[in-house]
Amino acid sequence: MSRIAALYALQQTDSEIDSRLISISQIEVALADNSAVEVARQVTQEADTAFVAARLALRDLEIASEDTERHAAELEKKLYAGQIKGIKEMGLAQHEIATFRQRRKDLDDQGVEAMIALEEAETTKKAAKAILTEAEAEREKVIITLQEDRVRLEGELLELRTEREKRAKAVVPPDLIIYEKLRGQKQGIAVALLQQGKLCGRCRVELPLTKQREAKNNAVIVYCSSCGRILHFKP
Ligand SMILES: [Zn+2]
């Protein structure tokens, strides 16, 4: 294997390692992201609270209606038992009874609305709960898949690192220094393929003829005149 071919082989393994590392970090982010379930849980809690409030509102109206009716009935009883004397007093009592009854009717009308609101709140609560259950089940599945992927990637990484060691040994030490330095400067890609015998495979710039010839020899390190990467020619 030529010097440059050895560098290119190392580059390929390093790129494979880099892509696994990126995938693993993406998995870590996805594993930490429980937002879908959290949003569904929040919505469920709000729906629960609204349901409880609707039930209390209905109960309050029912109690108020019962109280009003009791007052009216008590007054009516007194009136018919002759406990209220005088025309004026009796008239006032009758007026008061009518007011209580009207009040009760209003409360009962509100009670019908409150009952409808309660049914709606219950429907919303059930729907929110169903969405939460589904989100939790989905999340569990996603977590299992992500964990499996991570295990697979870590296994691949282990093999790739062993391979990297071997490939690094096949590179002469001074070239390895140049390679590592370039990799640090060029987003991890130090070696590019010479394509169609004239183009840098990374930046797509066409090289001067002398460089094309030198690169094709694969004997000395030739750098792309545009992006500065080492060029490798595959005959
Ligand atoms: Zn280039």
Of the candidates 60, 43, 4, 14, which has an alpha carbon nearest to the alpha carbon of residue 126? 43
d(CA 10, ligand 1 centre) in Å: 18
DSSP 229: P
Q: Where are the domains of the chain?
A: 1-25+172-235, 34-169
The answer on pLDDT for 2 being more than 90 is no
**Average pLDDT over every residue of 19-28:** 98
The CATH class of the 34-169 domain is: mainly alpha
Q: Which residues face 223 on adjacent strands?
A: 230
The answer on pLDDT for 235 being more than 90 is no
What CATH number does domain 1-25+172-235 carry, 1.10.287.1490, 3.40.50.410, 3.60.70.12, 3.90.1150.10? 1.10.287.1490
d(CA 204, ligand 1 centre) in Å: 6
| pLDDT of res. 1 | 76
- The one-letter amino acid code at 113 reads E
d(CA 70, ligand 1 centre) in Å: 93
The answer on pLDDT for 206 being more than 80 is yes
Map tokens 């015998």 to a residue: 197
Confidence of residue 53 (pLDDT cuts 50, 70, 90): very high
d(CA 182, ligand 1 centre) in Å: 12
d(CA 119, ligand 1 centre) in Å: 68
d(CA 26, ligand 1 centre) in Å: 29
DSSP 84: S
d(CA 190, ligand 1 centre) in Å: 10
CA angle 62, 68, 71 (to 5 degrees): 140
d(CA 130, ligand 1 centre) in Å: 55
* Same fold for the pair 1-25+172-235 and 34-169: yes
Largest interatomic CA distance in the chain: 127
d(CA 177, ligand 1 centre) in Å: 20
Percent of the chain with pLDDT strictly greater than 90: 97
Confidence of residue 195 (pLDDT cuts 50, 70, 90): very high
Alpha carbons 225 and 232: distance in angstroms, whole number: 14
